[in-house]
Amino acid sequence: FIKKSLLENALFTGMSEISLQELVDAFEKKKASRGENIVCQGDNCDGGYVYLVAEGKCRVLVDDVIVPEPYGIIGPGVVFGELGVLYDEQRAATISVKSEEVTYYQIPGEIFKATLNKPAESLSTMQEVDALINQITGTQALYGGDIILPYKPERLWLWRQFSGTVLTISIETMVVSMLACAVFVTFAREASGEVPWSMEFVVPDKDLPFVQRLSQLHQIWDIQRALTTFVLTFFVNQSFDFWKAVYQLGRDVQGKLNGFNLVLATNVKRNEDGELTPESEAFLKDVGQFSRLFHVLMWAGKAKRFSILTSPEGLQRMESRGLMNEKQRLILLDLKLTNDQLFIAPLEWMMIRSNRAVAEGTLDSDNATKSTLLREYMFLRNAYCAISDKLDGRMPLAYVNFVQLLVDSFVLFTPIALYADLGEFSVLAV
């Protein structure tokens, strides 16, 4: 059982038969009763174990709250606890026994890492992929995953932010500009015969010929300031409108995915008491998995930070994390599609599986249901194309180039134009 379960997990593909057998031999059998915690959130993984469920089910809790399915239930054949061991992190969740009894196997973390023997570079790539999988598929409780960061309009919170703000984008340019300005101020003080960097607010002597020439440049700078302010204001407004349009399209995709699955759930075959039939449950589970995979691959094809998920390594890790099975991964690898088009496959699987359910009698075959499903399906396909169109036509290159040159020249020109009025403190004007 252990060997079969490991071979079905992409994490262990490529291992030699000897290493795999060493791994299997190192597992020891354990049992736990309902309510027992196998691991607890916040525990240190130093000296910890990696686990494999053999019989029964466990539930996942974060901050004592049960995580919803599909991430909240761990069943037979599932390996868990490997992330904390591999990356030397604390346990992210509590794993508690859900069924009357659970039979599981455990292996010491040190033996697991040593036998797995992943190169440091490979382990680093895998950790990056795992972090992205957590973010793009995880629930808020389980991984704190947010595609769009939450916004809290409190003054102190805003002051504490750095990542993703204008400071992150402009700090390097700002430092370079201030250094260039400091060089100019030093030259200007030397040229005018004044002591450089006295750190006293002393306005340069405007009777000096050098300072007079700089004062004349101030008038040109005033004209450029007005032009830069107008152009930049328009540019920022256009950029914000573009962001809102892409954001709305992203939310529309989420809404249509929910709508697609809602139509299926309300039109599948049920027993007389309203319970889903086994065929209906299997059908909805399949489409739900296809939907999640479509959503992941769609954003991985558009956002650079998620693009590694469409690589062979990313697909393999997604298989080992349960986002797809081996057959689906091999199909994706064999497709004659670019990485940013892989999402088309699970989108087609959603419709093909629905059509098969209609043929089998699991899903209503009336024209209204078929028409609604087709409409939702076409919207998802068109929404992705709309996002691509928005990205391709977001702003003409000539205009962006003009704005960049205008702003850069304005920033570099500022300390020169303001030197006659601010002296050394013109560095701060940058």
DSSP calls for 142-177: HH---SS------HHHHHH--TTSHHHHHHHHHHHH
Nearest to 302 by CA among 391, 377, 235, 187: 391
CB 370, CB 359: distance < 8 Å: no
Structure tokens belonging to residue 301 = 């094809």
Please check the confidence at residue 32 and state whether its pLDDT lies above 90: yes
Look at the block and give the residue holding tokens 């991984």.
143
| Per-residue confidence band for 416, with pLDDT thresholds at 50, 70 and 90 | confident
What distance lies between CA 42 and its chain's CA centroid? Answer: 23
Nearest to 297 by CA among 252, 329, 327: 329
Mean pLDDT for the stretch of residues 110-117: 84
Q: What is the pLDDT of residue 430?
A: 65
Highest mean pLDDT among 11-20, 143-152, 326-335, 404-413: 326-335
Please check the confidence at residue 69 and state whether its pLDDT lies above 80: no
Please check the confidence at residue 407 and state whether its pLDDT lies above 70: yes
| Per-residue confidence band for 121, with pLDDT thresholds at 50, 70 and 90 | low
What distance lies between CA 411 and its chain's CA centroid? Answer: 34
| Per-residue confidence band for 328, with pLDDT thresholds at 50, 70 and 90 | very high
Q: What is the pLDDT of residue 213?
A: 77
Among the residue ranges 71-80, 84-93, 105-114, 115-124, the one predicted with the least confidence is: 115-124
User: What stretches of 307-424 adopt beta strand conformation (E)?
Assistant: none
Please check the confidence at residue 149 and state whether its pLDDT lies above 70: no
| Cβ atoms within 10 Å of 380's Cβ, excluding its own | 22
DSSP state of 46: T
Question: 3-state SS string over 290-347?
Answer: HHHHHHHHHHHCCCHHHHHHHCHHHHHHHHHCCCCCHHHHHHHHHCCCCHHHCCHHHH
| Per-residue confidence band for 96, with pLDDT thresholds at 50, 70 and 90 | very high
Helix, strand, or coil (residue 98): coil
| Per-residue confidence band for 113, with pLDDT thresholds at 50, 70 and 90 | confident
| Per-residue confidence band for 352, with pLDDT thresholds at 50, 70 and 90 | very high
Burial of 4 from C-beta contacts in 10 A (0-12 / 13-18 / 19+):
exposed
Q: What is the pLDDT of residue 152?
A: 66
- The whole-angstrom separation of Cα 368 and Cα 250 is 26
pTM metric for this prediction: 0.71
Q: What is the pLDDT of residue 95?
A: 92
In the chain, the percentage of residues whose pLDDT exceeds 70 is 92
Look at the block and give the residue holding tokens 């992705």.
384
- The whole-angstrom separation of Cα 304 and Cα 301 is 8
Q: What is the pLDDT of residue 374?
A: 87
Among the residue ranges 35-44, 224-233, 311-320, the one predicted with the least confidence is: 311-320
Please check the confidence at residue 283 and state whether its pLDDT lies above 90: yes
Angle CA 322–117–133, to nearest 5: 30
| Per-residue confidence band for 349, with pLDDT thresholds at 50, 70 and 90 | very high
Amino acid at 255: G
| Per-residue confidence band for 331, with pLDDT thresholds at 50, 70 and 90 | very high
CB 109, CB 45: distance < 8 Å: yes
Q: What is the pLDDT of residue 38?
A: 92
Nearest to 201 by CA among 423, 427, 419, 417: 423
| Per-residue confidence band for 148, with pLDDT thresholds at 50, 70 and 90 | low
List, for residues 169-221, the tens digit of each pLDDT value. Answer: 778 888 888 888 888 888 877 777 776 666 666 677 777 777 777 777 888 88
Mean pLDDT for the stretch of residues 312-338: 87
Q: What is the pLDDT of residue 268?
A: 92
Mean pLDDT for the stretch of residues 326-349: 90
Q: What is the pLDDT of residue 151?
A: 64
Which of residues 97 and 158 earns the better pLDDT score? 97
Please check the confidence at residue 323 and state whether its pLDDT lies above 90: no
| Per-residue confidence band for 147, with pLDDT thresholds at 50, 70 and 90 | low
